[in-house]
Amino acid sequence: MLSVAVIDYGGSNLRSVSKALETVAGKRARVVVTDDVKRIAAADRVVFPGQGAIGNCMTRLHETGLVDAIRESVKTHPFLGICLGLQSLMDRSDEDGGTPCLGLYPGGVRHFTRNPPPGADGTPQKIPHMGWNQVRWTRQHPLLDGIESGTRFYFVHSFYVVPDVAELTIGETDYIDTFSAALAEDNVFATQFHPEKSAAAGLQLLRNFIAWDGQA
C-alpha cells in the first residue's frame, strides 16, 4: 500500500485535504497528516497544503524543522503543493512586508492590483479572489488526465506566484490579470487553487496524483 504524507506545519485546512485524499485513495494508499520528518521522508507521496499568511507559514516551517524535509521531498518524491504550498516554493513573497520563501523556484509572489476595475462583463473584481474560476492548461501532464482545459476550480487568495521561468506554468487563470494557477516541473505539481474544494475536477486531480509516479 502506498503512503501519502500531508505535511502538518500547524496551519489550517489539513483535515479537508487529508479527507479528500482518503476518498480518492481508497485501499490503494494510506494518508497520514504529520510533522515527523522521518515519516515524510519515508512516504511514497508528499502533499504540502496551506492557508493563511506566508510569514507565519515560513516561521512555523523553520520552527518545526520542516524546511529541509520539504526541500528534500521536492527532489525525491511525487510532490503536490496547494495554495501556500505553491507560494512557499518561490524565492520571496511581497506578503507580510516581504518574506523570504523556500527558494526552490526563481520568482516571487505578488498581491493583486488594489482597487481593480470591473471585469469585462462589468462584475466587480474583489480581493481576495474567492470562488470558482476557469483554469487553462498550457501543456499536458499526468495529473490533468480526464480534466479538460477551462475546467473551473475553487480559489481563495490575494497573492499569486510570478515565476521567472515562464515554462514552469502549466495552468493559467484570468482575474484582474492573467496569473499562474499551477506550476509543474519534474516530480512537482503545485496549484494556487484548492483541489480538495473543487468537487469532481479536484478529486480527479488528487486521484491522478495518487497514481502518479513523478514522471511527466
Handedness of CA 187, 193, 194, 200 (dihedral sign): negative
Q: Residue 216: its pLDDT value, please?
A: 75
Distance of alpha carbon 128 from alpha carbon 31, whole angstroms: 31
> What's the pLDDT tens digit per position in 151-182?
999 999 999 999 999 999 999 999 999 999 99
**pLDDT confidence of 77, banded at 50, 70, 90?**
very high
Q: Which of 57, 77, 83, 157 is catalytic?
A: 83
**pLDDT confidence of 59, banded at 50, 70, 90?**
very high
Distance of alpha carbon 61 from alpha carbon 164, whole angstroms: 24
Q: Residue 215: its pLDDT value, please?
A: 86
Q: What structural domains and CATH numbers belong to the chain?
A: 2-211 (3.40.50.880)
Average pLDDT on 75-83 reads 96
The position carrying cell 518545526 is 64
Q: Which three cell numbers stand for residue 103?
A: 527558494
> What's the pLDDT tens digit per position in 90-121?
999 999 999 999 999 999 999 999 889 888 88
Q: Would residue 185 show up in a list of annotated catalytic residues for this protein?
A: no
Q: Which of 77, 95, 141, 196 is catalytic?
A: 196
Q: Would residue 57 show up in a list of annotated catalytic residues for this protein?
A: no
Q: Which of 129, 141, 157, 194 is catalytic?
A: 194
> What's the pLDDT tens digit per position in 22-43?
999 999 999 999 999 999 999 9
Q: Would residue 77 show up in a list of annotated catalytic residues for this protein?
A: no
